[in-house]
Amino acid sequence: MPIGRAPRLTEAEVTDEAIYLNRRAFLAAAAAATLALGGSPGSAGAGAVPSALGPLPARRNPRWSTTEPTNRFDEATTYNNFYEFGVDKDDPARLGHLLHPRPWTVQVGGLVRKPARFDVDDLMKLAPLEERIYPLRCVEAWSMVIPWIGYPLSALLKRVEPLGAATFVAFTTLLDPEQFPAQTPPLLGFGGLDWPYAEGLRLDEALHPLTLLTFGMYGHVLPNQNGAPIRVVVPWKYGFKSAKSIVGITLVREQPKTAWNTAAPQEYGFYANVNPTVDHPRWSQATERRLGEFRRRKTAPFNGFAEEVASLYTGMDLRRDY
Amino acid sequence: MTRRGRAALKAGVWIGCLSPLLALLYRYWTNDLTANPVSFLTNTLGDWTLRLLLTSLALTPLRILFGIGWPMPLRRLVGLFAFFYASLHFAVWLVIDQFFDWPALLADILKRPFVTAGMCALTLLVPLAVTSTAGMVKRLGARAWTRLHRLVYVSAVLGAVHFIWLAKVGRVTPYSYAGILALLLGIRAVDGVRRLLRRRWNSPSHLKGDTRMRTSLREWARELVVLAGWLSAQHDGRHEDAGQGDDVRRCGDGHGQRHVDRQGDAAGYGHDAGPGHGEAMSQGAADTRRPW
C-alpha cells in the first residue's frame, strides 16, 4: 500500500505555511473554485455531489493520505453500515433524511480540566480543516477509499486538557428514535445493539495524528448517512470503531463499554485493529473487496498504517487483544 | 385439473421462479447492483434459494392442513428452481467472489461453519436434482426414491443454519426463515405420527374411509389435541410402569389428573366427537370439539 512506502515528506514540505497563514483567503478561493467547477477541488472523479450538501473546502494533507484512487461519492453514500437507520446497506441512504444535523452540540467532558459543550459550527473552527484520504476497512471484509475533511481529534482533546487519570476516550452517538428509527425496540426485541451506540479508544490512540475528528467528505459537509454532522475516523481500525453522529466525548479511567464488543465480544474486540492474521470467527480477514474492484485484494496490517501506529501496541498480544 | 390448466400453472411457476433472476439481470443492465455487486448478487441468490426451498416444502403442509392438493405436482419444479438458485449462489462465490482461489475456498469450507453448512446443503441437493426425472423414480422404485428425497429436509435445515451462522447480530430474517422451516417440518412430523397412530388404532370411526388423507384444518387440529392427550397418557403410563418408590412420590398430584385426561381422550377418540358428548368428558377431550 502506498502509505508508508511513498517517499516521506518532511513536515516543512507538507505543511504549506502560506496556505495555513492565509487560510481565510484560501478557503474563499477554494469555495469559489468549488462553485465554479461544481465539484470539490480535492476529489476529482468522485461523482456528483448533491448541491444540498454545503461545500467544505480543505487542503489535502499528503503526509497522512493514501495515494490510492478514491471511491465514487455515490459508492460511499449508498453502501453504509449505520445500524441506527437499519441493518441493510441501503437503509442509511434511504432514511438518512430523518436525521437533523443542525443545531447540534457535543458535550466534551469526563476527566478533563475544562469540560465544555460545543456547538458543531464552533467546533469546526477549532483547528484548520484538512483533507485526508483514508482507506476504510469494514470488519465485513470490504473497503473503500474516502477523502475525509476534519482535523486531528488531539486538537480538541488538548483544548479541554485531559487529567492525568484519563486513559480512555468514550464516544456517544445521538440517541433519538425519532431521527434514528432503528433505535425503536423491535417487536421481537432480540439480539440487537444497545443504544446509544458507544465506541471508545485508548487515549494515546485518540491523540494519534491519524485519528480525525471529521466534519465532511468529498469537499462537502458529511451526508447524514455517513455520520453527520460530526464523527471520528480511525483509519487503522475496522469501520465500526469510527463512531458517527457524535453527541458526547468523555475521557474516562476504565476501558469503556462499546457497542459491538458488548453485542458479540468473541467477534468484535475493543481494539479492532485491521489485522489480516486474526480472522473474524466466521470469515477470514486476510483479504478484502475494495468496492469497484473485481478481484479481492490482500488486507494490509493496520490497514496500511503499520509504520505509523504499530508502536502503540508494542508488547501487546494482538491475537488476544483483537 | 385440465391439461391446459396444468400447463398454465407450470408456466406461471416458470415465470414466478425466473423473475428474481430477470430482476437481477435488469439491475445489471441499469447498473443498479449496489456499490458491492458481488455481495448483493450472492445475498440475493441465496435469499431466493431459501425462499424457493421453503415454498417447495410448504406445498405438502398446505394439503395436510387445508386439503389443498392441486399445487402438489409443482413441488419438483419449485425444488429444481431452488437448486438452480443455489447453484448460481455457489457459482458467484466460486467464480466472482473468490475467483477459483482453491486454498482459500477449501480453508473456508473447512474452517467456517456457515460455509460448511452451506456446502453440505448444496451437495445434498445434487442427488435430488439428478434423480428428479420420472425415469429415475421408476429406476429407483418409488419407495427408495421417496426415502432418498427426504434428504431435502436435511438440506433445508442446513440452509437455514447457513443463513443464521453468517448473519450479523440484530438480523431477524434468518430466524424467520428458520421458524417457517420448523413450522413446515413440524406439521409433517405431527402428520406422520398421526398417520402412524391411525394405522395402529385401526382407523377410528370418524376417520374411516379417509384414505386420501384429505383433512380440514379443524379436523387436523382436533386430532392434534387428541394426540397430545394420548402422548401425555403414554408418558403417564411410563410412570405407572416404573411407578415404584421415589418415582411415584415425585409424580405427585399431577399423576391422578393426567390419568383422568387419558380416559377422557381415549373416549373422545373412540366416538365421533359430536355435540352432546362433551359433558361426560374431561377438559382435554372437550378441547377436541372447539371450532378452531
Residue of A nearest to B38 (CA): A294
Q: How far apart are CA A180 and CA A177, in angstroms?
A: 5
A153 or B274, which is more confident? A153
Residue A304, pLDDT > 90, answer yes
Residues of A in contact with B114 (CB under 8 A): 282
Report whether pLDDT(B31) > 60. yes
Is residue B57 within 8 Å of residue B184, measured between CB atoms? yes
Q: Which residues of B fall within a CB distance of 8 Å from A80?
A: none
Min CA distance, B53 vs chain A (Å)? Answer: 23
At B123 the three-state DSSP class reads: helix
Sign of the Cα pseudo-torsion (A247, A253, A258, A262, in order): negative
**Secondary structure E strands in chain B:** none
Any CB–CB contact under 8 A between A280 and chain B?
A: no
Q: Which residue has the higher pLDDT, B230 or B241?
A: B230
For the cut 50, the answer to whether the pLDDT of residue B253 exceeds it is: no
Residue B13: which pLDDT band, with cuts at 50, 70 and 90?
very high
Residue A13 has pLDDT above 80, yes or no: no
Nearest CA in chain B to A71: B35
Q: Say if the Cβ atoms of B39 and A142 lie within 8 Å.
A: yes
Positive or negative, the CA dihedral B28, B34, B35, B36 is: negative
Query: Quick one: pLDDT at residue A188?
Result: 57
The rounded percent of chain B whose pLDDT value lies above 90 is: 47
Across A122-149, average pLDDT: 96
Kindly state which CATH superfamily the domain A2-313 is placed in: Oxidoreductase, molybdopterin-binding domain (3.90.420.10)
A to B CB pairs, distance under 8 Å: 61
Tell me what percent of the residues of chain A surpass a pLDDT of 70.
Answer: 84
**Above 50 in pLDDT, residue B251?**
no
Distance from C-alpha of B181 to C-alpha of A207, rounded to nearest angstrom: 51
pTM value is 0.76
Whether residues A90 and B166 touch (CB distance < 8 A) is answered with no
Per-residue pLDDT at B201: 64
Instruction: Give the model's confidence band at B281: pLDDT under 50 very low, under 70 low, under 90 confident, else very high.
Output: very low
* Shortest distance, CA B37 to any CA of chain A (angstroms): 9
Over the stretch A154-167, which tens digit does the pLDDT of each residue have? 999 999 999 999 99
**In chain A, positions 176-235, which contact chain B (CB-CB < 8 Å)?**
186, 188, 191-193
Which pLDDT tens digit goes with each residue over A259-282?
A: 999 999 999 999 999 999 999 988
Q: What is the per-residue pLDDT for B237?
A: 63
Q: CA A108, A240, A186 angle in degrees (round to 5)?
A: 95
Contact of A275 with A322, CB cutoff 8 Å: yes
> Which residues 153-172 of B are in CB contact (within 8 Å) with A?
165-166, 168-172
Does A316 score more than 50 pLDDT? Answer: yes
What average pLDDT does range B24-40 have in this prediction? 92
Over 90: is that where the pLDDT of A48 sits? no
Q: Could you tell me the CA-to-CA distances from B122 to A32, B102, B162 in Å, in that order?
A: 59, 18, 11
Q: How confident is the model at residue A186 (pLDDT cuts 50, 70, 90)?
A: low
Residue range A66-109, pLDDT digits in tens: 999 999 999 999 999 999 999 899 999 999 999 999 999 999 99
- B77 in the Ramachandran plot: left (φ > 0), alpha (ψ -120 to 50) or beta? alpha
For residue B39, the chain A residues in CB contact (below 8 A) are: 142, 289
> Does the structure show a pLDDT above 70 at B217?
no
CB contact under 8 A, B169 and A90: no
